[in-house]
Amino acid sequence: MEKTTCTEEEFNEKYERYSNMIFKICILNLKNIADAEDVTQEVFLKLMSQTNKEFVDADHEKCWIIRVTINLCKDKLKSFWNKNRNNIEDYQDLYSENLFEVDYHDLEILQKIIKLPLKYKKVIHLYYYEGYSVKEISEILNCGESTIKMRMKRGREILKIEMEEEIWSNEIINKQWTV
């Protein structure tokens, strides 16, 4: 008889291993805690319903989960409901509610990353926060390595400009107060 569901122990182990990563990817893509929680739940439902899927190793399973997460986020963003509402401020509540253990070092940098266009945000998150190589990211996102490198370069350039503008404006404000 074919196995159709996983045990509670298997589910708990997968939840502990992947929940923070999935939630972070969802927050970066959706910018909304409620939607991120919904998609996180959908990813686990999909993972648990795929018990007949054979993963080569833990990395293969992780790549599959990231791909599913990104696809479900895209689906959520394309939905009628999502296209007809504006709600960006929820991501700031993430740090006060402590729903998941978020270990980003600097809230200001995360806010700047969240504001990046989606194609840059994805590669920067996967590279810097999940630790994937350019080659692995290209496989996950089904893009060429040169595309990934260019997106990382452009994303970093945008972040650099944003940070330099902030430093410059802070220097002007400080000079005004010292005069």
Residue 43: which CATH number? 1.10.1740
Whole-structure pTM value: 0.57
Q: Name the nearest CA neighbour of 65 among 28, 102, 17, 103.
A: 17
More confident residue, 12 or 96: 12
Dump pLDDT digits (tens) for 37-80.
999 999 999 888 876 677 888 888 899 999 999 999 999 888 76
Question: Do 94 and 7 fall within a single domain?
Answer: yes
Domain ranges, residue 111: 105-179
* Residue type, position 36, single letter: A
Provide, rounded to the nearest whole percent, the portion of the chain with pLDDT above 90: 34
Which DSSP category does 101 fall into?
A: -
Dump pLDDT digits (tens) for 133-161.
999 999 989 999 999 999 999 999 999 98
- pLDDT at residue 115, rounded to an integer: 85
Reduced to 3 states (helix: H, G, I; strand: E, B; else coil), residue 24 is: helix
- pLDDT at residue 87, rounded to an integer: 52
Question: Do 3 and 66 fall within a single domain?
Answer: yes
Question: Do 99 and 13 fall within a single domain?
Answer: yes
Question: Do 5 and 77 fall within a single domain?
Answer: yes
CATH number of 155's domain? 1.10.10.10
- pLDDT at residue 3, rounded to an integer: 45
Question: Do 30 and 115 fall within a single domain?
Answer: no
* Residue type, position 105, single letter: H
**Residue ending a domain, choose from 103, 130, 153:** 103
The number of folded domains in the chain is 2
